[in-house]
Structure 1
Amino acid sequence: MPDMNPRAWHRKASRPVSIWMAVFLAAGLAHPFIPDGSWLLIHIFTLGILTNSIMLWSQNLTERFLGQKLSDAARPAQLTRTYLLNAATIAVLVGQLARWYWLVWAGALVVAVALAWHAIVLAGQVKSARRIHIGAVGFVASACCLPVGALFGAALSAGLPGQWHGAVRQAHMFTNVAGFVGLAAMGALSVLFPAMWRTRGQDRVGVALALAGAGVVVAVAGSLLRASAVTGVGTVVILAGWVWLYQGFVASALTVVRDPRGRVTYPALSALCAVTWLVGGLTWYAVRVFGGTLEVPTLPLLLGFAAQLLIGTMSYLMPVTMGGGPAAVKAGLGELNRAPYLRVGLFNAALLAWLAVGNSYARIAFSFVAFGVLAAFIPLLARAVKAQVAVIKSRRP
């Protein structure tokens, strides 16, 4: 039987994330010169990096939250879902670029199947657990959103007539970003945020998930009905869930002011800034939706929130998951925490400037800076693994 212990499975399941990251960074640096570059970049990130990461870490964190490890015999099925997702992602990307819309639909259907299967497995774990953890419930709700969002995306591939294209695009955004990514982020941050800041957690995630989940349903319904007032109400309800959670995050972070030594780290700052971008982006969007505008704040939501949160949480989770004892984990975290203020400040300043300036050459320059800061994660991760392995080996007889 192949080696399917949790660590071996985790290495195999995380490999596609590393590959898609390299593809994303290359495409990000070249996106001004690629036909359909923006669409390609968004979907390499959302399907290639983000969806793989959420599938991987929601499984890992569900096991931790519930105190319930899957058996080794269940690991091959986890990898099968990962392989299905990545084959489907390639089909969607190739199909859209080649204008083979049948391939886009086929890929979207397989994505839907893979995530529905993932949701069923997570729901089974939650149901059989001795104790319920609301963060794990958030992962189940998140996984239920993407099958719907994938089908919305397939419908958009060839274009829809009249106002339907904008309406379905808006529903696609709410289902995928506010639903799939947002609910997973809520579930994870309920535990990870206080762990990153080394503070006490606050019991706010249950209310936040209920508000955000209800808001997604209302916003999607409003989008498809082309009722901007209903969509606006849904956006405000989603925003209320995040503001309730964000208030607790800020209160926790402020307690660190008394003793900031070793607690203000790159993962901690990234998580706080990411949620700030989400709250700001949703606020701006709510105002615009009530005015009848369907323009989606793509950069704030995907780069400011999703990308920044992903890199920050991975910078914390990778060394912790690799393990090897406190000294080894500290060595890995130390490498991934290099220049925290510079990296967080530079990324957020570059993204703000990218949004604010009107000159196309300046926007390209700021986009290179933002992607360059994100790209620093890859060599730092290699250094972290090397440092952590060195500590682990030094302790062996």
Structure 2
Amino acid sequence: MPERTAALEREAQRWNPRVWHRKVSRPVSVWIVVFLCVGLAHPLIPESRWLLVHIFTLGILTNSIMVWSQNLTERFLHKRLDDAARPAQLLRSRLLNAGILVVLAGQILRPILASHWLITACGAIVVCVVAAWHSLVIFRQLQAAGQTQRFRPVVGGYVVSAVSLVVGTIFGIALAVDLPGQWQSRILVAHLLSNLGGFVGLAAAASLTVLFSAMWRVNGTFDRPGAMLGVACVGVCIGVVGALTGNGVPVGVGLLCYAGAWAFALQTWLAAVLRTVGEPKQRATYWSLSALAAVAWLVASAVWLGVQFLTADDFGLSGAAPVLPLLLGFAAQLLFGTMSYLLPTTMGGGPSATRAGLAEQNRGGVARVILFNAALICWLLVPGSIAKIAFSLVVFGCLTAFLPLTARAVRAQRAVLTAQ
């Protein structure tokens, strides 16, 4: 009997939320290190832009969204997955990262291997299957939760986000083939809209409808998440259809519709934040300011790009497409800021332990946000290549601070737990 009890305790500990979450989150940490190393050394690496974009979008963003959308689905629906489902979640993570490595290998071999696209396609198919599997798991959780759950629209946003990744990955496979005529340009726009606007944007929108008020510590949550997510989804669909038909007008309309959904949410959040001005409670933290700045970058980029499509004579992305504002200003800033808040709260251990972890993550928080955004603006605007390199190093340096601060936060939280 004691042996049986000990075995049960070991099995329970194996799937303890902190333990399995650490396992499934480990690839995110590895990809962050790879991304920051490549980012700091990017002036010396050939084709560094493509490599940075795909290490970040596939390695960091895709892993992070799949981990946290599952975690937040369980929180919002107030129902944990059974422990029996955890091995499948870890398997999805491993398959996803295997597929990502194959995709990157295929594109790295492009200059020396004519059939590189076959390697890329095989990896992308694996990513596509994992994304479809992930969306099905969350959809079944949503069905089982019943109609009375308050955050059903939020979890529905995660389902649509994962489906968008499936669609965007299919477009990515087509891009690897080098399509004839204007199709390469059309598919590229559809790929960008599906992945950044649909997969990343809808997952971010779904999360922030709840997390924004928590990060700013203001009362209430966004009261119309379904409407906001629905309008954003419609905008993405209109844009993708316009891209496939080679018509810039619906692409522009879709982008402005998408930006309008985010702008509606942004003004609601800003109003809530402004109501707290003058209160002694500290609300301006690294994660709260990062979320606010990231949404502002997204709205500005979507509006700018939408206007470009509406006024352009020829269809396609210009050389000045806002890749850096979308990937760094929006996605990277939001991801690193949100993770700085979620990691200590997920690790838990009581109010004292969580406060200790958050305090470490917030070291120099306001200064880091200001420096990051100022350096990114200068990177975009200054004409000299040396100056651009200098400002890019500042941007990646600000992001790099996340790693040692996370390690400090874990140690501080464990110290409180040990004392307790």
TM-score (norm 1): 0.98
Q: Is the 8 A contact 1:332 1:387 kept in 2?
A: yes
* Letter of the structure 2 residue corresponding to residue 5 of structure 1: N
1:330 aligned to which of 350, 355, 370? 355
Q: Is the 8 A contact 1:328 1:392 kept in 2?
A: yes
Do structure 1's residue 153 and structure 2's residue 167 form an aligned pair? Answer: no
The 1-side partners of 2:280 and 2:55 are apart by 37
Question: Where do residues 70-219 of structure 1 align in structure 2 (5 Å cutoff)?
Answer: 70-99=81-110, 100-130=116-146, 131-132=148-149, 133=151, 134-200=153-219, 201-219=221-239
The 2-side partners of 1:91 and 1:334 are apart by 39
Q: CA RMSD in A?
A: 1.1
Any gaps of 5 or more consecutive residues in structure 1?
Answer: none
The 2-side partners of 1:202 and 1:47 are apart by 29
The 2-side partners of 1:51 and 1:343 are apart by 25
CA deviation after TM superposition for structure 1 residue 159, in Å:
2.4
The 1-side partners of 2:243 and 2:385 are apart by 31
CA deviation after TM superposition for structure 1 residue 4, in Å:
2.2
Partner secondary structure for residue 89 of structure 2:
helix
Q: Which residue does the alignment assign to 2:391?
A: 366
Q: Which residue does the alignment assign to 1:223?
A: 243
1:25-69 per-position Cα deviation (integer Å, ceiling 9, x unaligned)? 000011122121100000000000000000000000000000010
Question: 109-118 or 125-134: which moved more?
Answer: 125-134
CA deviation after TM superposition for structure 1 residue 225, in Å:
0.3
1:193-249 per-position Cα deviation (integer Å, ceiling 9, x unaligned)? 000111122313211101000111110000010011111111111111111111111
CA deviation after TM superposition for structure 1 residue 155, in Å:
1.5
The 1-side partners of 2:21 and 2:245 are apart by 42
Question: 87-96 or 123-132: which moved more?
Answer: 123-132
Partner secondary structure for residue 314 of structure 1:
helix
Question: 68-77 or 159-168: which moved more?
Answer: 159-168
The 2-side partners of 1:371 and 1:167 are apart by 31
Q: Which residue does the alignment assign to 1:60?
A: 71
2:400 aligned to which of 356, 365, 375? 375
2:262 aligned to which of 242, 245, 257? 242
Cα 1:230/1:260, change in 2 over 3 Å: farther
Partner secondary structure for residue 350 of structure 1:
helix
Aligned residue pairs total: 395
The 2-side partners of 1:6 and 1:390 are apart by 19
Q: Is the 8 A contact 1:152 1:168 kept in 2?
A: yes
The 1-side partners of 2:359 and 2:177 are apart by 47
Highest CA radius of gyration, 1 or 2?
2
Q: Which runs of 4+ in 1 moved over 6 A?
A: none
Q: Is the 8 A contact 2:210 2:222 kept in 1?
A: no
The 1-side partners of 2:122 and 2:200 are apart by 23
* Letter of the structure 2 residue corresponding to residue 277 of structure 1: W
TM-score (norm 2): 0.92
CA deviation after TM superposition for structure 1 residue 262, in Å:
2.1
Cα 1:114/1:260, change in 2 over 3 Å: farther
* Letter of the structure 2 residue corresponding to residue 179 of structure 1: G
Give percent identity, aligned residues only.
54
The 1-side partners of 2:48 and 2:361 are apart by 30
Cα 1:368/1:113, change in 2 over 3 Å: same
